[in-house]
Homo-oligomer: A and B are copies of this chain.
Amino acid sequence: MSVHHAPLALHPDRLLPADPGVLAIARRLYGAVRDLPIISPHGHVDPRMLLDNVPFSDPAALFVTPDHYVTRLLHASGVPLDVLGVGRGPLSEDSAREAWRQLCSHWDVFRGTPVRYWLESELAEIFDVAVRPSAHSADAIYDHLAERLVHDAYHPRALFDRFRISVLATTDDPCDDLSAHTGLAADPAWSGRVIPTFRPDRYLEVVRPGWAGAVARLGDVADVDTGTYPGWVTAMELRRRYFIEHGATSADHSHEDVRTDPLDSGEADRIHRAALAGTATRAESVALRRHMLLEMARMSTEDGLVMTLHPGVRRGHHRPTLEAYGSDTGHDIPLRGDFTDPLRPLLERFGTHPNLHLVLFTVDETVFSRELAPLSGFYPSVYVGAPWWFLDAPDAIRRYRSAISETTGFSRTSGFIDDTRAFCSIPARHDMSRRLDSGYLAQLVAEYRLDEDEALETITDLVNGRPREVFKL
């Protein structure tokens, strides 16, 4: 690539505190964890990609098209989603190159975002790209990347090893046969740990179209009649058991809210039947979902699956885009969150149960100091999840530590979660978290609020101890 492009280079002190005194401490803390293996207890990588070790087809498929963090800001900047390849299946080389050019020529709109930070890290560290993306450099970088992608060293399994991933959890439908996980486990050439996560949302979303069909399918897979509420419960329990047998340690839940008001069992069954018959009201359907969520907590106390909650997002905010391009296309928008009262029925029943680990995530920062830190600072089951989605970014992560640590310390937090479907961004995301936590701890040391030996122990615990303990890994 020619010399007239601006250079792309990663500074070793990036994201560490700017103040020289604090920086010196932060460097020591970060140095102690920089090279530790990655534990990824929650994410969206497709296990089949690792099973089949299929090469990434092109730079657009790797960095642009499937990543709604990337496509959303391009869309806001006037680039139609189809130009980015969204919803179009495999792209021709021309189309892939065009999608890539759009990213590069709009590189400036990502200034200040973690997306830019991750992409820079990936380009420079994994692919040795040394020039800054721009309209001018787009084609040269495309060619450079395309050339690398065909080599074995850039195939998924080689990258998995290079990334030093110790555990990778995927996210899976309860009806999934987990054959990809089975296949990996049975492959003598594979030694990585890839575990499934039980994600039953659609079977609880009684109001959504397709719920009845999903419940029927669940019954088929579990070989139980799910036409009654007790049958639904049994089927869920059986599928959770199946997941556990295949390595799962957690169940993930994402609904609009986290209310967990109980119904009596007769009422739950009555609504369940009415909903299947299409005669339940919307209020009844929502009530059933809330009761079902409480039921999932009960199951967790019995089978030990960690329960993670990711509430508070209006999914598919722009219906025309949803209809044209499907879900996860960049227009899921956060809502106000609430935990204190909605979770009370669950916590009164199971909040001190020794078997329950309940990890609470939010996209509403206001609950960090007001609700999540206080709840996790009393209930032995509750952990504050890492900053999620829109909050998985440097300043937001600093605000998170500042908002929660003073009430709940470090031990009641989940450790970092990358939550990504962008496989190559995993190392950059975990590294970002390590840098930022090192910086936060260094600030405590610099203000004489913590001794450095304690900060060192804490940063190591955040990278290794927390995720292993919280997610039972």
Stoichiometry, copies per complex: 3
> Are A370 and B75 interface neighbours, CB within 8 A?
no
Q: A77–B469 Cα gap in the complex (Å)?
A: 12
A74 to chain B, nearest CB (A): 10
With A18-B19, A19-B18, A376-B76 as known contacts, state yes or no: A333 contacts B371, CB within 8 Å. Answer: yes
> Are A377 and B443 interface neighbours, CB within 8 A?
no
Q: Does A396 contact B (CB under 8 A)?
A: yes
Q: A114–B19 Cα gap in the complex (Å)?
A: 24
> Are A108 and B457 interface neighbours, CB within 8 A?
yes
> Are B15 and A448 interface neighbours, CB within 8 A?
yes
A206 to chain B, nearest CB (A): 20
Closest to A114 in B: B406
> Are A335 and B340 interface neighbours, CB within 8 A?
yes
With A320-B348, A399-B402, A407-B393 as known contacts, state yes or no: A447 contacts B370, CB within 8 Å. Answer: no
Partner of A76, one of B13, B377, B405: B377
A405 to chain B, nearest CB (A): 4
A213: chain B residues at CB < 8 Å are none
In which size bucket is the chain A interface? 35 or more
Q: Does A53 contact B (CB under 8 A)?
A: no
Q: A393–B344 Cα gap in the complex (Å)?
A: 26
> Are B449 and A15 interface neighbours, CB within 8 A?
yes
Q: A379–B331 Cα gap in the complex (Å)?
A: 8
Partner of A380, one of B78, B348, B399, B447: B78
> Are B390 and A395 interface neighbours, CB within 8 A?
no
Interface residues of A in 356-412 (CB under 8 A from B): 363-366, 369-371, 373-380, 382, 390-391, 393-396, 399, 401-403, 405-412
> Are B352 and A449 interface neighbours, CB within 8 A?
no
A147: chain B residues at CB < 8 Å are none
Q: Does A117 contact B (CB under 8 A)?
A: yes
Interface residues of A in 397-454 (CB under 8 A from B): 399, 401-403, 405-412, 443-444, 446-451, 453-454
> Are B318 and A352 interface neighbours, CB within 8 A?
yes
Q: Does A238 contact B (CB under 8 A)?
A: no
Q: A63–B362 Cα gap in the complex (Å)?
A: 34
A412: chain B residues at CB < 8 Å are 73, 76, 109
Can you offer 12 A-B residue contacts whose CB atoms are under 8 A? A14-B447, A18-B446, A19-B19, A73-B412, A76-B382, A109-B411, A109-B412, A111-B405, A111-B454, A320-B352, A321-B352, A364-B370
Q: A333-B374, A394-B449 are in contact. List 9 more A-B contacts (CB 8 A).
A: A13-B448, A14-B448, A15-B449, A76-B380, A77-B411, A111-B405, A111-B409, A335-B370, A373-B390
Which residues of A approach B to under 8 Å, CB–CB? 6, 10-11, 13-22, 72-73, 75-78, 108-114, 117, 132, 314, 317-321, 330-336, 338, 340-341, 344, 347-348, 351-352, 363-366, 369-371, 373-380, 382, 390-391, 393-396, 399, 401-403, 405-412, 443-444, 446-451, 453-454, 457-458
